[in-house]
Structure 1
Amino acid sequence: MIVVALRARSSWHKPAWWATAFGAIAVATYGILWATPVVLDGMLGGRNLLTLVRDAAAVAAVWFFHNAVAAQQRKPEKKLPAWGLGLAVLSFTVPFLLISRPGPTSSAFVLDRLDQFPVWLFSSIYIFIVGALAARAIALLSSEKTVMTRFYVLGLSLMLVGSIIELMYLAATHFGPTNPDFRESLYYVAERPFFGGIFITVLGFLWVYAVRVFWKHLARWTLRIDARHEGGEYLARSLATSSENGWSDRQLAVNSAVNIRDRLKIGTQALSRREHALFSGVEHLLSNHLERTPR
């Protein structure tokens, strides 16, 4: 939540930020410090509305994750509209509001009420939407073969498989003759691949975010060293050129590092011992683009 808040000013317009924000809300519904799910749901009236909030936030997170993938692949026509998200949430909110005796707060809210048709419909629509979004994201990612893409596809595939298993479980439990032991044991079996997939996908998302933050700070550091030789407006001018040309932070770091290296070779730029050690590390990271600077 803290990271989301800190990044709001610069990233609120990006789908990835919204995916992170809604994901954080969904996770927060499981408890924040003293605010346990019972406390949080009690603040909403003790009618298990926290379950609805959690599911709505989860759908929004996967929705914006899908759009973040579409944006990253430069396929704006594949983005899903915001009004579609509203309809998706509304589609399972209506049956939730028709549930008889929704309270008191319970961690087994769905499991204890699966004999009710609105509970089955609410859960089934929610799971179907998440599975459909996972399938769409997999289709978008299938054209790339990077390690991170495969990591995402693994997580999303587990979510898709978990969604199918859970839909089958919900139908069998609601419409078929089942005993309490069957309900409870299979319920948690059905959830394992689903939540395992979410865990893997979130790890991948956090890794990508951390890498981007790292390269952004590294690019700004090399640019500041580079600008030291060129004058006051050079930093702003370089950032503007980078934005116009669509350079990544890695490309910006390469450009600045090349300039620094050339000046070090001819002796027109000096670095402190600490800066020289850091710059050697930068060169090592960019070794595919640069020759190491001689000491």
Structure 2
Amino acid sequence: MIEVAFWLLAVAFVSRLTFVIRFGSSTAFLAAMGIGLIGLFSTGVLVPEPILDGLLGGHNVLHLLRNLAVTYAVWLIRDGVVHAFGGEADRSRFIYRRSFLLLVTAAIVIPFLFQHFVPTTERFVPENVDQPAVLIYATVYMAALGFLAASVVKTCLAPQSSRAVRVSARGVAVGMAFMAVACIDEIVYMQLQALDAGPAGLRAVLYGAFSPLLYGGVLIVSLSLALPLLIRVVRTFDLVNRLTLLVLEVSPATINDSTKVQSSLQRMRAAWLHADPSSAVYEHIIRESDRRVTEEHRSLPALTARALAAAEDRFDRSFDMTVKEKEIL
């Protein structure tokens, strides 16, 4: 799960970075992705955690830095979401200011410094939660992360006029909700573990549920943040009309005819590289409309007919939207 989240976030980060450099896209979530990537890297997905922590002294300092990185990444996502969807009243509240982030950071770091330091272990919290300092450190971290994630959920559920933005925001809300539940799960587990209370089976379930919830949330958030980029790629390169043109230019009958395979490949290449695929698809729609008048019994392959119908519906909706915009203006 962690490896999938890491590589997906890496792809999303590189994609957004490319669009920022090439098209001047918003950098609101770029830093959050980069810091989140560093946090996931520190879990040992590429370099074993003991080696990384050994470079920092071998006393689980990497655990602290990873938690701070995740906290800051979620903070940056919340900051971007609030600036995009929130009102002026939200942005002026103390919990959205940098001073609040500094307070949270201090509340996490200070208890960590008062622990009895132990050698590097991948199960740092479960093995040392009996130390009051470690229990306070981990509890404050989980509470802060859960609070930040829950506040993102609240903002993302605000009404949005754009369907793409609405879907992306709802996806972020779902992912953050998973992370908030993971934080609650971990806090309950740590208290039971520290007090040696509750059935061992319950503690095992709580411990096992944490990673799927947390990193599942990271996966969903990464996908949701990448959605606007994907939509922009589709629109920038007009991929829908290019794919439609491929279907319209090359019928199954032509492809199955071995004498025309080379011609079909040339037509496919020309269709995919067409300078204006939208106009070419529209010309197909006009020609087919004319043929319906002159050739009543002409039938098309099922895939071609579906592609034409979908394209015609898409152009009609686009025309209706243009007319409405003109009426408003």
Q: TM-score, normalised by structure 2?
A: 0.61
Report the CA distance between 1:160 and its aligned residue. Answer: 1.7
Structure 2 partner of 1:136: 151
CA distance in 2, matches of 1:273, 1:5: 26
**Residues 67 and 273 of structure 1: CA distance in aligned 2, closer, same or farther (over 3 Å):** closer
> Is the contact between residue 16 and residue 64 of structure 1 (CA under 8 Å) also seen in structure 2?
yes
Could you tell me how far 1:286 is from its partner in structure 2? 7.1
Deviations 1:191-221 (A, max 9, x none): 4323322222222122234334554x449xx
User: Are 1:111 and 2:131 counterparts?
Assistant: no
Tell me how large the CA RMSD over aligned residues is.
Answer: 3.3
- Asked whether the equivalents of residues 11 and 17 of structure 1 are also in contact (C-alpha less than 8 Å), the reply is no
From 104, 107, 113, the counterpart of 1:88: 104
User: What is the SS of the residue equivalent to 1:288?
Assistant: helix
Query: 1:165 aligned to 2:176?
Result: no
Contact 2:185/2:206 (<8 A) preserved: no
Equivalence map 1:1-295=2 (5 Å): 3=14, 14-31=27-44, 33=46, 35-73=47-85, 75-79=87-91, 80-103=96-119, 105-144=120-159, 146-177=166-197, 184=204, 186-212=206-232, 215=235, 217-218=236-237, 274-277=274-277, 280=280, 288-290=317-319
Query: Alpha-carbon deviation of 1:144?
Result: 2.6
Instruction: Give the greater-gyration-radius structure (CA).
Output: 2
Any idea what the Cα deviations from partners look like across 1:119-178, whole Å, max 9, x if unmatched? 111111111011111111111122237333332222222222222121111112113446
Summarize the Cα distance change of 1:278–1:188 in structure 2 as closer, same or farther, 3 Å threshold.
same
Cα distance in structure 2, aligned partners of 1:54 and 1:282: 53
Q: Looking at both structures, which has the greater relative contact order when contacts are Cα pairs under 8 Å and sequence separation is at least 6? A: 2
User: What secondary structure sits across from 1:31 in the alignment?
Assistant: coil
Aligned counterparts of 1:188 and 1:61: Cα–Cα separation in 2: 24
Q: In the aligned structure 1, how far is the partner of 2:70 from the partner of 2:281? A: 40
Structure 2 gaps, min length 5: 1-9, 161-165, 239-271, 284-310, 321-329
Q: Distance in 2 between matches of 1:175 and 1:281?
A: 69
CA 1:273/1:63 → structure 2, altered by over 3 Å: closer, same or farther? closer
Q: Which amino acid letter does the alignment assign opposite residue 29 of structure 2?
A: A
| Cα deviation digits, residues 45-67 of structure 1 (max 9, x gap) | 11111111110010011111111
Whether the aligned pair in 2 keeps the contact of 1:135 and 1:157 (CA below 8 Å) is yes
The 2-side partners of 1:58 and 1:78 are apart by: 22
Counterpart of 1:186 in 2: which secondary structure? helix
Cα–Cα, structure 1 residues 273 and 118, in superposed 2: closer, same or farther, change >3 Å? closer
Q: In the aligned structure 1, how far is the partner of 2:273 from the partner of 2:225? A: 36
Q: 1:161 and 1:6, CA in 2 relative to 1: closer, same or farther beyond 3 A?
A: same
Structure 2 CA distance, aligned partners of 1:213 and 1:95?
46
Paired positions, count: 236
Give, in angstroms, the shift of residue 279 of structure 1. 5.6
TM-score (norm 1): 0.68
